Amino acid sequence: MRLYHFTDFYNLENVGPGNILAVGLRAGADWMKEYSGCFLKPPPRNAIWLTSEAVFFERTKECRIEVEIPRSDSRLFKWNTYLERYGKPGLMEAAKRADAEQGSNTLSSWWLYFGDIPARRIVAIEYADPARRAAARNS
């Protein structure tokens, strides 16, 4: 299954012990703390946020990391499934209201991966902005 993680180019080489390019996406890495301001986040410290949406609604992220994860991998959870099983009371309803207010269905497109995603699972690293991605492919 193809999923996407969005971040800044800086994080590819400059964060961690071991960076994304060298070791892959690491659950609980320092760069994951950027999510702490969102009411639906952060996930448990041992998880990585992924989405099935190839275009990210938040234009502040610079790059898109495409990963291949087997759907049968027991460490992969849909965000809404996780909320239903383990979320605080009222959180699922708040997430649904936020989706309705935004006129979207982002709740069903988010995934959590509990563990590290090794570099060998990275399929592509590209610009997050579709126009810049297309320009880079055509150059």
Tens place of pLDDT per residue across the chain (139 aa): 999 998 888 888 876 666 888 889 988 765 444 444 444 445 566 789 898 988 776 666 788 999 999 999 999 998 888 888 877 777 777 777 777 776 666 677 889 999 999 999 999 999 888 888 888 888 7
Task: Give the pLDDT score at 3.
Answer: 96
Number of domains into which the chain is organized: 1
Task: Give the pLDDT score at 136.
Answer: 81
Assess contact for 4 and 68: CB atoms under 8 A.
no
Closest CA to 57 of 106, 113, 98: 106
Amino acid code (one letter) for 109: S
Spatial distance between the Cα atoms of 31 and 35, rounded to a whole number of angstroms: 9
Which domain range does residue 129 map to? 2-138
User: Which pTM does this prediction carry?
Assistant: 0.78
Task: Give the pLDDT score at 36.
Answer: 40
Spatial distance between the Cα atoms of 96 and 91, rounded to a whole number of angstroms: 9
Three-state helix/strand/coil letters over the chain:
CEEEEEECCHHHHCCCCCCHHHHEECCCCHHHHHHHHCCCCCCCCCEEEEECCCCCCCCCCCEEEEEECCCCCCCEEEHHHHHHHHCCCCHHHHHHHHHHHHCCCHHHHEEEEECCEEHHHEEEEEECCHHHHHHHHHC
